[in-house]
Amino acid sequence: MIWREAGPGCPTTCENMTDEVTECSVPPVSGCFYPSNMVMKNGKCVAPEECTYCFCYGFNAPDYHMFDGKFFNYQSNCS
């Protein structure tokens, strides 16, 4: 853990690390925080690679948003 005078009010977690919008309404706070290259998972500090939450979703088919935050377009006929 690292002491910071103005650490993030909304720390990065496995659940939110791929969110496109990263607005935080909580002001910075002083305290001990994990290193900036780490994220929280179930209350523990881990490397982002240890996050096992994989999801992707489609919208306005054929557009897909992948678990790593990337978008791609896939158009095909079902047969």
18, with CB counted inside 10 A (0-12, 13-18, 19+), is: middle
Q: What percent of the chain has pLDDT over 70?
A: 66
Structural tokens at position 60 = 């306005």
- What b/e readout covers 29-58, taking b as 16+ CB neighbours within 10 angstroms? eeeebbeeebbbbeeeeeeeeebeeeeeee
Domain definitions of the chain by residue range: 2-73
Position 56 scores a pLDDT of: 53
- Whole-angstrom Cα distance, residue 68 to residue 10? 20
pLDDT tens digits, one per residue of 4-42: 999 989 888 888 887 877 688 999 999 988 888 899 998
- The pTM (predicted TM-score) of the whole model is 0.57
